[in-house]
Amino acid sequence: MTDLTSYSAAELAGLVARGESSAVEVTQAHLDRISAVDDRVHAFLHVDTEGALAAARDVDSRRAAGAALGPLAGVPVAVKDVLTTKGVPTTAGSKILADWRPPYDSTIVRRLRAAGTVMLGKTNMDEFAMGSSTEYSAFGPTHNPWDLSRIPGGSGGGSSAALAAYETPLSIGSDTGGSIRQPGAVTGTVGVKPTYGGTSRYGLVAFSSSLDTPGPCARTVLDAALLHEAIGGHDPLDSTSIPAPVPDVVAAARLGAGGDLTGVRLGVVREFAGEGAEPGVLAAFRAAVETLTKLGAEVVEVSCPHFQYALPAYYLIAPSECSSNLARFDGVRFGLRVGDDGVRSLEEVMSATREAGFGPEVKRRVMLGTYALSSGYYDAYYGQAQKVRTLISRDFTTAFEQVDALISPTTPFVAFPVGARTADPYQMYLADLFTIPSNLYGGPGISVPCGLADGLPVGLQVMAPTMADDRMYRVAAALESAVGPFTPPAL
Ligand code: GLN
């Protein structure tokens, strides 16, 4: 690890702004680090060396010309391969999009470029963001820098592993049921699911449109806030984008870093206590609760009785929406086409393309979702799940009448060995136990490192009311200031 790769994004931006390092030097250091370690970590599906150096040169020449630079100018960022990047491969971890180069940038990526950040490349993920370990990527798994024989969480394991491996100081993920927060937790990094609609879905390859939320990943809470500010806010190209400014997450992170939580009321979700989290995870969580109390927070127990139904409701709603969204991969419009020999019918070509292009987990979801939406079953499954979703949202509303934010462990277990849960889908789905409720409700959640169990990182989750993203940054920054830092062993 060279010095430049060990700095935070805030520090790197300062070095570039003061002319103590050039953006090209910063970028080259991270590209070198990727060359040195990514054959073992496999966080990246595509490294855009030329594009990154060109973007860095542009920042350096604008600085030389005296232009005002944004707070993240010259800072490298890696982007989950679920967001479109103009002319740069975008696969969503699937063979069906293996050779696709999108003709346009997603709004998130456009804003990253406008902010002067330097996109290093695209990160590995479970196919179409379906999974909790990055083992369902069609291009092979990502490995956890804390222990290369273990998973980095999912679906956005590439984005979080790249941070823990010091290949990038910032990355972007997408969170439909926990795919930013879980990888954050098990790699000892910070992952944020913003309020649904607080970050644009334009150019995000759709999985479950009523849940999908792009968001920032970083090694520090302040860096996540700076990235959140750069990518967030209203986008007229996304019909569910909230027409309101981003809450002042940067100020909240700075306030929290002072380590004073006096007057903040936090709720521990009672129903999560019996939910089979590993003893090491529970011990680290309890220690973090004590720390939060010492920092001045008042911690009380809160009941959210319907949270126990979140997992089954999600595993009907998300597959239902995915079965509809993935219909667009038909071998006609983009990506892979199989069996187009002039003899086979259109339907045969579609079927052969989808058979060859989708992996087993994606097929399982499409079948589940198609079933749940079919006439005769719609009310019993999809309709019922939507009602449960309403009850979960009401639990949140009631809870936030009593407390400012809710806290829980982010995941029930630490990073597990590669292969340990792939044989039984239900074992994989259990990873989402604590993260799914806030997706169903739409409110923000953050995972911040809170301790170690058996030498592996444990994350604490803070959940806040919709559009109160700043609250969770304050709590997370305060905890961060009191514990850690948690640094993985050298690769
Ligand atoms: N693990 C969950 C799933 O497989 C969540 C995925 C996500 O947030 N993209 O659906």
- pLDDT, tens digit, 9 for 90 and up, residues 217-261: 999 999 999 999 999 999 999 999 999 999 999 999 999 999 999
Pick from 325, 313, 406: which is nearest to 370 by CA? 325
Cβ neighbours, 10 Å, residue 200: 25
- The ligand 1 atom at the shortest distance from the C-alpha of residue 131 is 4
Rounded to whole angstroms, how far apart are CA atoms 147 and 127? 23
Query: What does the CA dihedral 197, 199, 203, 207 come to, rounded to 10 degrees?
Result: -60
Atom 10 in ligand 1: which residue has the minimum CA distance? 130
Write the CA distances from 66 to 18, 63, 354, 396, 453, integer angstroms: 12, 5, 52, 49, 49
**What pLDDT score was predicted for residue 239?**
97
Q: What separation in Å is there between the alpha carbon of 166 and the centre of ligand 1?
A: 25
Rounded to whole angstroms, how far apart are CA atoms 228 and 251? 12
Q: What separation in Å is there between the alpha carbon of 177 and the centre of ligand 1?
A: 5
Contact 481, 258 (CB under 8 A): yes
Task: Tell me which DSSP letter residue 199 carries.
Answer: B
Query: What does the CA dihedral 468, 474, 480, 483 come to, rounded to 10 degrees?
Result: -110
Backbone angles phi, psi at 89, to 5 degrees: -50, 140
- To test the ligand 1 pocket, which listed residue (135, 179, 199, 433) has its Cβ within 8 A of the most ligand atoms? 179
* pTM (2 d.p.): 0.98
Per-residue pLDDT tens over the stretch 158-198? 999 999 999 999 999 999 999 999 999 999 999 999 999 99
Task: Give 291's contacts (C-beta < 8 A, 6+ positions apart).
Answer: 450, 479, 482, 483
Asked if the model's pLDDT at residue 1 lies above 80, the reply is no
Contact 235, 204 (CB under 8 A): no
Two tokens at 235?
């986008």
Query: Locate tokens 């292009």: which residue?
Result: 357
129 lines ligand 1 (CB under 6 A): yes
Asked if the model's pLDDT at residue 333 lies above 90, the reply is no
Contact 429, 176 (CB under 8 A): no
Q: What separation in Å is there between the alpha carbon of 290 and the centre of ligand 1?
A: 30
155 lines ligand 1 (CB under 6 A): yes
Q: What separation in Å is there between the alpha carbon of 369 and the centre of ligand 1?
A: 14
H-helix or E-strand spanning residue 485? none
Per-residue pLDDT tens over the stretch 192-219? 999 999 999 999 999 999 999 999 999 9
**What pLDDT score was predicted for residue 407?**
98
- What is the CA 428 to chain-centroid distance, rounded? 17
Cβ neighbours, 10 Å, residue 274: 8
At 257, is the secondary structure helix, strand, or coil? helix
- Phi-psi region at 455: left, alpha or beta (left = phi > 0; alpha = psi -120 to 50): left
- To test the ligand 1 pocket, which listed residue (94, 123, 137, 155) has its Cβ within 8 A of the most ligand atoms? 155
- The ligand 1 atom at the shortest distance from the C-alpha of residue 361 is 4
Per-residue pLDDT tens over the stretch 25-52? 999 999 999 999 999 999 999 999 999 9
Per-residue pLDDT tens over the stretch 60-116? 999 999 999 999 999 999 999 999 999 999 999 999 999 899 999 999 999 999 999
Instruction: Give the HSE-up count for residue 39: Cα atoms under 13 Å, Cβ half-sphere.
Output: 3
In which band, very low, low, confident or very high, does the pLDDT at 2 lie, cut at 50, 70 and 90? low
142 lines ligand 1 (CB under 6 A): no
DSSP characters over 320-387: HHHHHHGGG-SSSSSS-----SSSS-HHHHHHHHHHHHS-HHHHHHHHHHHHHHSTTTTIIIIIHHHH
- To test the ligand 1 pocket, which listed residue (126, 196, 434) has its Cβ within 8 A of the most ligand atoms? 126
Pick from 111, 100, 101, 103: which is nearest to 77 by CA? 111
Rounded to whole angstroms, how far apart are CA atoms 463 and 468? 9
Pick from 366, 424, 225, 392: which is nearest to 309 by CA? 392
Two tokens at 306?
């319907």
Task: Give 2's contacts (C-beta < 8 A, 6+ positions apart).
Answer: 29, 32, 33
In which band, very low, low, confident or very high, does the pLDDT at 335 lie, cut at 50, 70 and 90? confident
Per-residue pLDDT tens over the stretch 299-331? 999 999 999 999 999 999 999 999 999 999 999
Q: Which residues are catalytic?
A: 80, 155, 179
178 lines ligand 1 (CB under 6 A): yes
Asked if the model's pLDDT at residue 487 lies above 60, the reply is yes
| Mean pLDDT across 370-379 | 92
In which band, very low, low, confident or very high, does the pLDDT at 484 lie, cut at 50, 70 and 90? confident
Q: What separation in Å is there between the alpha carbon of 438 and the centre of ligand 1?
A: 13
Q: What is the mean pLDDT of the chain?
A: 97
| Mean pLDDT across 129-134 | 98
Q: What separation in Å is there between the alpha carbon of 255 and the centre of ligand 1?
A: 32
Q: Where are the alpha helices (DSSP H) in 97-150?
A: 107-114
- The ligand 1 atom at the shortest distance from the C-alpha of residue 129 is 9
**What pLDDT score was predicted for residue 70?**
93
| Mean pLDDT across 355-360 | 97
Pick from 106, 1, 95: which is nearest to 45 by CA? 95
Q: Is the dihedral of CA 14, 19, 23, 27 positive or negative?
A: negative
